[in-house]
Amino acid sequence: MTEPQLCEISVPGRRGIRFPKPDVPLTPLPESFIRKELPMPEMAEVDVIRHFTRLSQLNYCIDTGLYPLGSCTMKYNPKINEETSRLAGFANIHPLQPIETVQGALALMYELQEWLKEIGGFSGVTLQPAAGAHGEMTGTLIIKAYHHSRGDLQRDKILVPDSAHGTNPATSAMIGMRVVEIKSDARGNVDLEALKAECDQTLAGLMLTNPNTLGLFDENVEQVVELVHQAGGLVYGDGANLNALLGIARPGDLGIDVMHFNLHKTFSTPHGGGGPGSGPVGVASHLVDFLPAPIIGVIEEGDDETPPLYGFVTPKHSIGRVKSFYGHFGMFVRALTYMLMHGAEGLRQISENAVLNANYLLSRLKAFYKLPYDRICMHEFVLEGRWDDAPEIHALDIAKRLMDYGFHPPTNYFPLIVHEALMIEPTETESKQTLDDFADALIKIKEEAHTNPEILKTAPHNTPVRRLDEVKAAKELVLCCGVAPETE
Amino acid sequence: MFSPHTPTEKEEMLRAIGVQSIEDLFQDVPKAHRFPSLKLPPPLMEMEALAEMQNFADGNETCRDLISFLGAGAYHHYIPAAVDAIIRRGEFYTAYTPYQPEISQGTLQAIFEYQSLIAALTGMEVCNASHYDGATAVAEAVNMAVAHFRGKRTGIVISPSLNPQYTETVQTYTRNSTLALTGFELDPFSSPDSLLPLINTNTALVIVQYPDFLGRLFDYRKLIEAAHQSGALVCVAINPIALGLLTPPGEFGADIVTGEGQPLGIPLSFGGPYLGLFATKLEFVRKMAGRLVGETVDIDGRRGYVLTLTAREQHIRREKATSNICTNQGLMALASAVYLSLLGRQGLRELAELCYHKAHYTMQRITELPGFTLKDPQPFFNEFVIHCPTSAETINAHLLEHGILGGLALSQAYPNRPGMENLLMIAVTEMNSRDDIEALASALAEVSHD
């Protein structure tokens, strides 16, 4: 059953929400500015609720099952977060209110900055970036500003390991840096020789994801950082994989100069079907003056009787603002709620259990799927989704078949350095039983790949729709309801 | 805290892995830095955490405790209950980006509906699945225009009455680039004609706002024509509620329409998360950043939806992508789609008129007071600037004593510009009753009598 589109449900004259009649005298409308048509749908509230509720039922989500997307950290999103972020005292405050009227919000943001500094081992934090990639842009702009402030104008090269997320090279290019890829060595670490060869006067920095997208903690991380620093470069940490490191190691202690946090991965704020995220950036002491403006600071110290006055502060050499206002406040409330419920010990348990779950799942699967780097993994691991004796089967087929078993597939075809990659991150919120069921499904699929490959090639079979024609979508480009197809 | 393991299960798992203890899993971490002791408080239980967050919340005075006339890019509107009922469904908010279309049709079709609604509202042909907010959407318009001209045009003309935070964001995004930003340093109260001399054959993009940051309405046809004659593109940043009443920029020649989507059913929430609207013409679709959903069919011929033209995006193209954007504002886009569906053709027009009439009545009541004048006679939608007999900050402090959030003192928006001290920008929405408006006028009357 296909759900109709809004323009197909719309019935002329139907109304959803109505507003009160004007309680003030009317003013003539500015006729030359008035639109003639307002082609919006016309629906009753019940039409709207049924339409979107039916759509929701076509989705797979964490609330219904395991969502093992590698480097996405699809952990359970605690329900209390949805309560706290909607408290009237948070939801109904305007960002431009006088600071005296929003001391609670500012104190909360200050507190979150302090938690992130302590967790990451940093001297300063900005909460402004809206998402991970936005944090990367902020962080690399800070690196650029740092070099420029020292007259190092020639430093325009950013090194990106071949295992990095696509956002790393895209971000570097977006701010006008040259991107040079560094290969990985046989153990999945940054290749030190390849790194040395690029450590020269033009080096601005290295973007390092650690643990990397193979789920491996770089065994030479201290040497990597030292090589970059010796050459005058800075090290950017991609915090996408921080779920492996809470209370395990602080990136700042390892020498990382600047890193973004993904509140929507590590700190349980929901992914929302693609966003909103939140990507605060932490920096070491030599970079605090370059943070985006504004950050939250104490404007007047408090004493025993009066609390401190919180307000906005502009760092001395700030790169400027990266978006409107101060960041995704609603996500800050959720993340701090989550942090408060964990404390130091609880945060460490998050990472311990995330790494335990990944290694347990790996131990169940490695006899059945090829493991390109056979090491203890961190919070995720990468398998090859192919077998020499089942040549027609690809990672995509395995992914699609998993849906028939009721699971969301892992990330596939990433990282690019593994053939037919299946990148699996179970997170700490999955039980042993769920992991066993998932492993059983993957093992069964391997058997099917050899005995009944057709069932994989034609999968999924039990989903609301089956494999979709992506070529047709790109060729005909139907991007709006009720608009005739435009062909290339 | 949220991990379901029992100690027995943990033991079984460690045994299966072949290690003695959890600590054995972290041997790759340099020993000197392994297991740092974090100086953080002990954990709170859920009921304690809720109480703690309530404490923070109680430290704020809200737009419901106070009468608010604050706008300037974020607006206090009524949010129908049905909006939150939909976005609170776990099926929506606990799903990831719809990379696996067979089990993500709900998210995909919802984005498709959103694209359709925003395209119709703005009068454009395509709309992407959102940017972070109104400011970053403008910055992405700059990126798109520069890419469209393959970097050969380097001039960006920014209206001085574009929201200053948007201008600052564009400045940050283009730091140290070869782009030349002009226009924004002119007098914010100048008319669009003042931009004409700045447009030439090196101009990639002209950016204006509609209604502008100061609330004013201008007919941009002449400016857009001039820009097009020079071969430049034009971006119009909009307030989506205003488009319930006003001619959409697609009808007067805009190439890109961006906007802050917050007024469409998204709470003020101290500045975020909001929603970056971005719509354009079909001819630019391959240069546009952000996700895009297209309609197609499955192998059984059933209608379905997929992410399309993904070759523009970072996960495929890496350093050659149109932008680095990955996570967007998906759930906020859903909220706006539900909101627009509920209001519909009649409701949106009704709301826009309500804001218009209330704002004009407010302006009238204020300018009846001695010493208070309308700064600019240009038509406006729901926001306007008043020249006050004394500093706007003083007036705001006085109003706050009466439980009123007065509006934005423009000296805060333009801290380095002289002549802004007495200017107060006031926004009025359906949330302001006539009583609120009379309360504002009475409180201001006290100032005018001082």
pLDDT single digits (tens) B142-168: 999 999 999 999 999 999 999 999 999
The CATH classification number of A82-340 equals 3.40.640.10
Domains assigned to chain B: 67-78+344-449 (3.90.1150.10), 81-339 (3.40.640.10)
- Computed from CA positions of residues A99, B373, B381, B158, in that sequence, does the dihedral angle turn out positive or negative? negative
Average pLDDT (A406-410) is 98
pLDDT single digits (tens) A62-72: 999 999 999 99
Chain A residues lying within 8 Å of B326, measured CB to CB: 131-133, 166-167
Nearest by CB to residue B82, choosing from A45, A268, A321, is A45
Chain B residues lying within 8 Å of A395, measured CB to CB: none
Report whether pLDDT(A486) > 60.
Answer: no
Average pLDDT over chain A, rounded to whole?
Answer: 96
pLDDT single digits (tens) A113-152: 999 999 999 999 999 999 999 999 999 999 999 999 999 9
Average pLDDT (A23-29) is 97
Taking the C-alpha atoms of residue A114 and residue A398, their distance in angstroms, rounded to an integer, is: 44
Average pLDDT over chain B, rounded to whole?
Answer: 97
C-alpha B317, offset from chain centre: 27
Residues 344-403 on A with a CB inside 8 Å of B are: 344-350, 352-353, 355-357, 359-360, 362-364, 375-376, 399-400, 403
Q: Give the number of A-B residue pairs with CB atoms closer than 8 Å.
A: 691
Q: Which of A186, A82, A59, A207 is nearest to A133 (CA)?
A: A207
Structural domain boundaries in chain A: 82-340, 344-463
Report whether pLDDT(A427) > 50.
Answer: yes
Between A34-38, A162-166, A320-324, B42-46, the lowest mean confidence (pLDDT) is in A162-166
Taking the C-alpha atoms of residue B261 and residue B419, their distance in angstroms, rounded to an integer, is: 31
pLDDT, position A151: 96
Average pLDDT (B324-352) is 96
Residues 210-229 on A with a CB inside 8 Å of B are: 216-219, 221-222
pLDDT, position B325: 85
Q: Where are the beta strands (DSSP E) in A278-425?
A: 281-283, 295-300, 309-313, 381-384, 411-412, 421-424
Q: Which of B239, B93, B35, B156 is nearest to A56 (CA)?
A: B93
Residue type, A416: L
pLDDT single digits (tens) B103-135: 999 999 999 999 999 999 999 999 999 999 999
Report whether pLDDT(A483) > 80.
Answer: no
pLDDT, position B450: 58
Q: Which residue of B has its CA nearest to A71?
A: B96
Burial class of residue B414 (count of CB atoms within 10 Å of its CB; 0-12, 13-18, 19+):
middle
Q: Which residues pair with A258 in a beta bridge?
A: A236, A283
Report whether pLDDT(B48) > 60.
Answer: yes
Average pLDDT (A368-373) is 97
pLDDT, position B318: 82
Q: Identify the three-state secondary structure at position A249.
A: coil
Cβ separation A355–B169 shorter than 8 A: no
The CATH classification number of A344-463 equals 3.90.1150.10
Q: How confident is the model at residue B449 (pLDDT cuts 50, 70, 90)?
A: low
Return all residues near A101 (Cβ < 8 A) that are at least 6 apart.
A93, B60, B61, B66, B400, B405
Average pLDDT (B240-255) is 98
Q: Are the CB atoms for A203 and A227 separated by under 8 Å?
A: no
Q: How far is CA A207 from CA A236, A343, A378, B254, B301, in A?
A: 5, 29, 19, 38, 44
Phi, psi angles (nearest 5°) of residue A179: -105, 125
Residue of B11, B84, B103 best to disrupt the A interface, most CBs of A under 10 A: B103
Q: Is the ipTM of this complex over 0.90?
A: yes
Q: Are the CB atoms for B52 and A340 separated by under 8 Å?
A: yes
- Residue bearing the bigger pLDDT, B154 or B314: B154
pLDDT, position B312: 82
Report whether pLDDT(B322) > 90.
Answer: no
Cβ separation A248–B29 shorter than 8 A: yes
Helices and strands (H, E) in chain B, number of each type: 13, 15
Q: Which bin fits A423, alpha (ψ -120 to 50), beta or left (φ > 0)?
A: beta
Query: Percent of chain A beyond pLDDT 90?
Result: 96
Query: Percent of chain B beyond pLDDT 90?
Result: 94
Report whether pLDDT(B24) > 70.
Answer: yes
To the question of pTM greater than 0.90 for the whole model, the response is yes
Residues 181-210 on A with a CB inside 8 Å of B are: none
Taking the C-alpha atoms of residue B181 and residue B179, their distance in angstroms, rounded to an integer, is: 6
Q: Are the CB atoms for A176 and A153 separated by under 8 Å?
A: no
Cβ separation A87–B53 shorter than 8 A: yes
pLDDT single digits (tens) A202-219: 999 999 999 999 999 999
pLDDT single digits (tens) B372-417: 999 999 999 999 999 999 999 999 999 999 999 999 999 999 999 9
Average pLDDT (A391-413) is 97
Q: Identify the three-state secondary structure at position A256.
A: coil
